[in-house]
């Protein structure tokens, strides 16, 4: 547990079965910086003798994990969604070729550093006891330092608060189809519009519409995925939704694995018909 004034969080973490929680409570790590976090994580590894180090596959994880792995001369596996034990060897699973294949990676002996997709595995439900050990880390001179946080201007879309989200993916095919086809269904249902990352990367919608590991993590009552294949990075952002409807013309699309209701069809036929039906039902 790294930060300033985070001892309550460390205790809460230990009480959830967090094992021996190393607490590094220091003003040098009050804000994230790769160099101070690297020193803090390294101090915890040295103190515990950890030979498997799991970090989050998030922007700060991408930043700090390679530094840790390089410093330890460790095997390094990124973007994993699961770990299996195969006869005493740890096997790290990661999706490759846009989610079409799973790679099973067995690192060579020695220390292993891996980054894990947030939310890809269920929370640990084990013992309810643990302990906290405070670690004193001398941060010394750093090559970079935290200066300030600038919060991006919000355009008013907060998907984390929406009860209903209708998201469009690359299958929507054209930026103009979002206001013409996806938004009307969201409006008819009284919900918000979301998107997958390629839609945002292409500049069709701003980043606050993006659902997924590098966008918003959402848990609406109803999530409708239109023309979204269901890559793991999208799924981690929406699979905790209460009810999921997927509309996709590919019956083998992975989105159907998490859908409560799957519609194998062209979204341009189904979505406008659904919008009309919702409007009619609402009078
Ligand atoms: C580090 C990292 C972070 C990422 N973060 C995110 C993230 O936060 N969010 C995210 O979404 N992705 C993220 N991605 C990208 C992710 O891996 C996938 O590439 C992306 O989710 C695919 O988006 P998509 O489903 O819209 O597109 P595609 O995978 O191209 O799928 C399009 C789907 O539309 C269907 N389709 C096409 N036409 C129609 C039609 N007329 N009617 C019905 N269906 C149709 C197709 O059958 C296909 O299944 C990330 C990737 C990386 C490496």
DSSP conformation letters of 185-242: HHHHHT-EEEE-HHHHHTTSS-GGGBBSTTSB----SEEEEES----HHHHHHHTTSS
Whether 43 has a pLDDT exceeding 70, the answer reads yes
Task: Name, in order, each residue with C-beta under 8 angstroms of 237's C-beta and a sequence gap of 6 or more.
Answer: 119, 211, 212, 213, 215, 216, 217, 218
Whether 108 is in the pocket of ligand 1, judged by its Cβ within 6 Å, is no
Return the ligand 1 atom nearest residue 247 CA: 43
Whether 229 is in the pocket of ligand 1, judged by its Cβ within 6 Å, is yes
Whether 268 is in the pocket of ligand 1, judged by its Cβ within 6 Å, is yes
Extract the tokens encoding 183: 């938004």
CB burial string 16-32: b at 16+ within 10 A, e below: bebeebbbbbbebbeee
| Lowest-pLDDT choice from 101-115, 142-156, 166-180 | 142-156
Whether 44 is in the pocket of ligand 1, judged by its Cβ within 6 Å, is no
Whether 231 is in the pocket of ligand 1, judged by its Cβ within 6 Å, is yes
Residue reference for tokens 């919608």: 205
For 220-242, the pLDDT digits (tens) are 999 999 999 999 999 989 988 89
Task: Name, in order, each residue with C-beta under 8 angstroms of 135's C-beta and a sequence gap of 6 or more.
Answer: 22, 23, 24, 43, 44, 47
Whether 119 is in the pocket of ligand 1, judged by its Cβ within 6 Å, is no
For residues 262-276, average pLDDT: 98
Extract the tokens encoding 227: 């023309």
Whether 99 has a pLDDT exceeding 70, the answer reads no
Residue 118: which pLDDT band, with cuts at 50, 70 and 90?
confident
What's the mean per-residue pLDDT of the chain? Answer: 92
Of 200, 212, 253, the one to substitute when testing ligand 1's pocket (max ligand atoms within 8 A of C-beta) is: 212
* pLDDT over 70, % of the chain: 97
Which residue has the CA at smallest separation from atom 43 of ligand 1? Answer: 248
| Lowest-pLDDT choice from 45-54, 83-92, 155-164, 254-263 | 155-164
Per the confidence metrics, is the pTM higher than 0.85? no
């Amino acid at each position: 547990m790294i930060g300033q004034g985070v001892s309550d969080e460390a205790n809460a973490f230990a009480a959830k079965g967090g094992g021996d929680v190393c607490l590094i409570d220091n003003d040098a790590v009050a804000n994230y910086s790769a160099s101070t976090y690297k020193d803090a994580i390294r101090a915890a590894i040295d103190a515990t003798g950890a030979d498997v180090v799991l970090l989050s596959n998030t922007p700060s994880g991408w930043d700090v994990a390679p530094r840790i792995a390089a410093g330890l001369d460790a095997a390094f596996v990124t973007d994993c969604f699961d770990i299996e034990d195969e006869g005493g060897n740890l096997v790290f699973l990661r999706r490759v070729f846009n989610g079409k294949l799973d790679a099973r990676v067995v690192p060579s002996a020695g220390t292993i550093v891996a980054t894990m997709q947030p939310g890809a595995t269920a929370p640990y439900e084990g013992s309810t006891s643990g302990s906290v050990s405070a670690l004193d880390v001398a941060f010394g001179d750093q090559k970079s330092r935290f200066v300030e946080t600038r919060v991006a201007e919000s355009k008013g879309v907060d998907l984390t608060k929406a009860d209903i989200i209708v998201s469009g993916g690359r299958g929507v095919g054209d930026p103009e189809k979002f206001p013409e086809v996806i938004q009307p269904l969201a409006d008819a249902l009284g919900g918000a519009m979301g998107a997958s990352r390629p839609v945002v990367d292409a500049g069709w919608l701003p980043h606050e519409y993006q659902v997924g590991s590098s966008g918003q993590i959402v848990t609406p009552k109803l999530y409708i995925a239109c023309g979204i294949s269901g890559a793991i990075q999208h799924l981690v952002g929406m699979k905790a939704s209460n009810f999921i409807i997927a509309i996709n013309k590919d019956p083998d699309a992975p989105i159907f694995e998490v859908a409560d209701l799957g519609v194998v069809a062209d979204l341009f036929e189904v979505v406008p018909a659904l919008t009309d039906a919702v409007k009619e039902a609402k009078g």
